[in-house]
Amino acid sequence: MRILPDVRPTDEQLKIIGDVKPGLRIIRGAAGSGKTTTALQCLSQLVVARLKRRQRLGHQAPVRVLVLTFNRTLEGYIAELAERSTPSSDALDLNISTFARWARTIVGDVNIAGRDQESAMLRPLLQPFVTSQQHDFFADEVAYILGRFTPQNRSEYLTVVRQGRGIAPRVDRPVREKLLQDVLPAYEEAKAKRGLIDWSDLAVLAADAQPDLRYDVVIVDETQDFSANQVRAITRHLQDSHNATFIIDAIQRIYPQYFTWREVGITARPEIIHTLKENYRNTKAIAAFALPLVDGLPMEDDGTLPDFTACSRSGIKPLIVAGKYSQQLQTMLDRLANITDFRTESIALLQPRGGGWFKEARNTLRARGIPYCELARENEWPSGPEVVALCTIHSAKGLEFDHVLLPGLSQQVTPHGPQDGDADLERLRRMLAMAIGRARKSVMIGYKPGEESSLVRLLDPSTYELVEV
């Protein structure tokens, strides 16, 4: 499967690449604006500058570089470009990793609770005051608290504006007190009893881990889905004179995380913020299709809406197929057969959830003799010749495909609360826009009439073609 290509930087990117002043900086921009590509191009400049400086000052320690990605698929997707853009030198120690893998190597031997174990521990603790439908929301709320506040500062949760979590359901002060005073201590106890830690604990432990790793250059991709404690852990391990780049688009956040730069000890002065404006990935038609999903959501400084005027290529209108799942897929594959040969251009078949949802897709692809591979969050990027990838929307974060198919977009797989400002609805809107934003050339969405996701209603009919089969 294809990876990120080498490109010739444009003027807006050259400005960022040429800036090798030590310090922290932030790269913002919409999906497809070349944030990851630009940061990787910076990497080679920074490494060369650092190697020269090391030689000049006669330092013995190697130049230490850390590139953190959100998941392993993304790590594999960019690793080759990252390696290609750095010189091979014994004086260079280059580590490309996910946060979780990096943190585990510095924290040592720990047993981390899986999401199911976390949920099983939390369920009885939440049960006295939330309904079973609200369980997932409050389990996310616990993750939000543990990710955003340091263990010493958790009481700040009582008064903070809960940005990034929608406005419904409301979480008033009595509920917050209950979470802090009853649920969290009992949850800590449940973990301790089982000899487990969770992902939030891992970040806190990584921030305290010895020795200080003193990285010279750090790049963090998809920072919007890192927790505050993860960012604190990263900045704790910087060399005094460092170059650290955080890539962020808050519009694409799909996990219950939020932090302000100030909270993580970073002063976001205008001179350290670089915003990329062009969209190199999507066609105008694709960006226009995605826009209504996220337009009107609470806007954050680090978020950038898809902008069709920033795209230079035109393309075919996105397609929505209404019909039974099998008919949706057949129609999509028939349409694709008119525009690609299934050998050269990449195709992603995305689903909001994994597991059994892919069964029919696998059978259909097999029956048509189309080879495919499966990408999962903890899988590496496949290096084989397949051009079709099955994956969850979460695992497609940061990746790019020529064609994106999203069959089976039913309300069942995109559940959310009834009110405006519902936290799940806002997350799903960002998630679907992010999924559409993976596409370079075409996008197709499918649903069964009567069972369609309410997200479909948010789309603007003038931006797509509807086919009923």
Ligand X SMILES: Nc1ncnc2c1ncn2[C@@H]1O[C@H](COP(=O)(O)OP(=O)(O)OP(=O)(O)O)[C@@H](O)[C@H]1O
Q: Binding residue for ligand X (CB under 6 A) from 75, 198, 249, 452?
A: 249
Q: Of Mg ion, ligand X, none, which one does residue 230 interact with (CB within 5 to 8 Å by kind)?
A: none
Please give the residues from 33 up to 52 whose contact with ligand X meets the rule CB under 6 A.
33-37
The label of the residue with tokens 């309300």 reads: 411
Q: Which does 145 bind (CB under 5 to 8 A by kind): ligand X, Mg ion, none?
A: none
Q: Are 331 and 323 spatial neighbours (Cβ–Cβ below 8 Å)? A: yes
Using omega within 30 degrees of 0 as the cis cutoff, is the peptide bond preceding 298 cis? Answer: no
Q: Which two tokens stand for residue 345?
A: 């251009």
Cα–Cα distance measured from residue 235 to residue 220, given in angstroms and rounded to the nearest whole number: 11
Q: Is 240 helix (H, G, I), strand (E, B) or coil?
A: strand
Q: How far is the CB of 332 from Mg ion (least distance, A)?
A: 26
CB nearer to ligand X: pick between 329 and 404:
404
The answer to the question of residue 103 lying near ligand X (CB under 6 A) is no
334-339: long-range contacts, CB 8 A cutoff, minimum separation 24: 335/442, 335/444, 336/403, 336/405, 336/442, 336/444, 339/403, 339/441, 339/442
Q: Which of 36, 328, 331, 453 binds Mg ion (CB under 5 A)?
A: 36
Residue among 36 and 239 whose Cβ is closer to Mg ion: 36
**Per CB under 6 A, does 76 bind ligand X?**
no
Written as one string, the DSSP assignment of 91-114 is TEEEEEEEHHHHHHHHH-S--BPP
Nearer to ligand X (CB atom), residue 218 or residue 322: 218
The answer to the question of residue 303 lying near ligand X (CB under 6 A) is no
Give min distance, CB of 164 to ligand X, in A: 17
Binding residues for Mg ion, total number by CB under 5 A: 3
User: Is there binding between residue 223 and ligand X (CB under 6 A)?
Assistant: no
Residue 109 vs residues 43, 71, 197: alpha-carbon distances, Å? 31, 21, 11
Region from 31-39, 330-338, 403-411, 451-459 binding ligand X, contact rule CB under 6 A: 31-39
Comparing CB distances to Mg ion, the nearer of 297 and 399 is 399
Sheet arrangement for strand 347-351: 372-375, 388-392, 347-351, 401-406, 439-447, 319-322, 465-468
Inter-residue contact 225 to 434 (CB < 8 Å): no
Contact assessment for residue 4 and residue 349, using Cβ atoms and an 8 Å cutoff: no
Near ligand X in 398-417, by CB under 6 A = 398, 400
Pick the binder of Mg ion from 303, 323, 398, 408 (CB under 5 A): 398
Count of H helices and E strands in the chain? 15, 13
d(CA 400, CA 347): 9
The answer to whether residue 198 forms part of the interface with ligand X (CB under 6 A) is: no
Binding to ligand X by CB under 6 A, coded x per residue (else -) over 423-442, reads --------------x-----
The count of residues interacting with ligand X (CB under 6 A) is 22
Segment contacting ligand X by CB under 6 A, of 28-36, 106-114, 124-132, 253-261: 28-36
By beta-carbon proximity to ligand X, the closer residue of 1 and 322 is: 1
The yes or no reply on residue 200 touching Mg ion (CB under 5 A) is no
Q: Looking at 24-32, 206-214, 359-367, 447-455, which segment touches ligand X (CB under 6 A)?
A: 24-32
With CA atoms as reference, report the closest residue to 282 among 304, 310, 248. Answer: 310
Asked if 331 interacts with Mg ion (CB under 5 A), we say no
> Among the residues of 295-411, which ranges form H helices?
325-339, 359-367
When the beta carbons of 118 and 249 are compared against ligand X, the nearer one is: 249
1, 24, 26, 32: which one binds ligand X (CB under 6 A): 32
Q: Which stretch binds Mg ion (CB under 5 A): 16-24, 35-43, 106-114, 408-416?
A: 35-43
Provide the token pair at 8: 């010739």
Contact status: 280 vs ligand X (CB under 6 A): yes
Quote the DSSP letter at residue 238.
Answer: E
Question: Which spans of this chain sit near Mg ion (rule: CB under 5 A)?
Answer: 35-36, 398
Task: State the residues that interact with ligand X by CB under 6 A.
Answer: 4-5, 7-10, 13, 29, 31-37, 249, 252, 280-281, 398, 400, 437
